Structure 1
């Protein structure tokens, strides 16, 4: 490939460099720190390089981490529609042939251009929002630190993003759901009905978040509900919420790891958006612990994101954007891996419901909430943290829409002598 960079303005040079690296014409518009612009004015992707430091970030990490560092730090910005831009960038990168046939002269021209732009130099310090955890993977202390990194951002920030329900998991957009709040209420009620809750039930919510499910279970079904979380901020919020609704006698919130719960048996267990933190190595421990905490005939509802079989890059990659900025040590398993672990613990799996499209809709609502309250979100946390969440949620919505990841509710029963205690039809136990 012959490509000599001759432009003398920053944007023109960057655009030519990108073309040389990716080896194709690009529907990409670039504006640089010197005010120069290059590329089609009507391009679907319009990038702004606010500082030459963005280039050094990409030189030292020419992957999603480099892009993430440039965006989170504010060195790189997006002027075009955020969802369309992310989708288009992914298509551009996937369709790139790459610099397969770059001769020595072209390499020298590329290096001189990068040097002139200030792209050659020491690696910039990563944004403060990036984290690397120490200690044994999925130990109690390390898991606690991972949860704290993600969830102790501040309750007020989460309220801006999640809305009044304070529910941080996939909503269910049934025919009656007109708002995000409606859809989240539909979700927790669906879980309660699948678990068969009533005033005689004692239910455990593993990873209870801000208490939405346990409060719904107590208020609407009269159930005695115990919620456990590793986030002190979540626990404080959930306790206050339960007290304000007059449900303190029915709702107990603990800062506790699921592996430390000892006061079973429970009639039902809900795990909503928590299993993603467990890790493949700990799945047998997780399912065995929940099995031991249930009475015979008790039900488990495991609601978890899954990766598509054969798709890599969504689990155990410690260098990914998700692991460095969002969910440290998070792992997505396939649906078959999860159901196998549940069955291996002794459960009988009775029902699986896929909600992939519902999560894409939920994430788009969260992004809209964040963008509508951007200035306040920045004041409550930092601009970098707000940027992390915008990128993470928008990219996740697109990934759900593409089918690379899904989310499923698995209903399982601790059957006794072959008796599940469930009605024969789905309609009967959901009524």
Structure 2
């Protein structure tokens, strides 16, 4: 497995090809607080890091490159192209906190060209959004009037709020409080 090493000559030539981990490390300004491993065999960050991300496929890089930040990572994670290590699958918050400390630098024009060539133009084309997110224009226009009208919205409000307190007590517990239901101990009850 290739590990990223500080290479000051990495951009010496326009024809240089970087690994995914080298691209990641190049864009960071400061230490890498997590371990990144990639499908191309490269890695960056401390081997003994408590948290890690594993990019399993080129599509995972594609999601991250074309929708930087939370959206790209979320799409890669949901599609199975990205795995989080060191956290429970439904509780990535400690990893996200570690990642929040990362500072990124703006690459130079030369660095952008080298990164684009290293990834390949195919990985820089956005992945089409899932059908649920990209309704055809004709359908959006046709349904827009049906989605929101005073009558339809009033019915939705009535359906949601005009139910008995018993229903909400079943769903929310005796406190009748909305909660994310994050449990520190599996034995905890909703209350």
Provide the TM-score with structure 2 as the length reference: 0.60
Instruction: Render the CA deviation track for 1:118-144: whole Å, top value 9, x for unaligned.
Output: 5222x2233577688952399539959
Residue 120 (str. 1) matches residue 78 (str. 2): no
Higher relative contact order (CA 8 A, sep 6+): 2
Q: CA deviation at 1:365?
A: 6.2
Judged with a 3 Å threshold, the aligned counterparts in structure 2 of structure 1 residues 36 and 91 are, in CA distance, closer, same or farther, namely closer
Match of 1:66 in 2: 72
Task: Quote the RMSD (CA, aligned, Å).
Answer: 4.3
Residue 33 (str. 1) matches residue 39 (str. 2): yes
Instruction: Render the CA deviation track for 1:27-71: whole Å, top value 9, x for unaligned.
Output: 222222244444322112221211111111112211211111110
Match of 2:148 in 1: 136
Once residues 123 and 52 of structure 2 are traced to their aligned partners in structure 1, the CA distance between those partners, rounded to angstroms, is 20
Q: CA deviation at 1:204?
A: 2.1
**Aligned pair partner of 1:50 in 47, 51, 56:** 56
The structure in which a higher percent of residues are strand is 1
Match of 1:294 in 2: none
Once residues 130 and 24 of structure 2 are traced to their aligned partners in structure 1, the CA distance between those partners, rounded to angstroms, is 24
The structure in which a higher percent of residues are helix is 1
Provide the TM-score with structure 1 as the length reference: 0.30
Q: Secondary structure of the equivalent of 2:71? A: helix
**Aligned pair partner of 1:205 in 165, 171, 174:** 165
Q: Secondary structure of the equivalent of 1:23? A: coil
Paired residues of 2:34 and 2:98 also in contact (CA < 8 A): no
Once residues 141 and 113 of structure 1 are traced to their aligned partners in structure 2, the CA distance between those partners, rounded to angstroms, is 54
Instruction: Render the CA deviation track for 1:222-246: whole Å, top value 9, x for unaligned.
Output: xxxxxxxxxxxxxxxxxxxxxxxxx
Q: CA deviation at 1:111?
A: 2.0
Q: Secondary structure of the equivalent of 2:124? A: coil
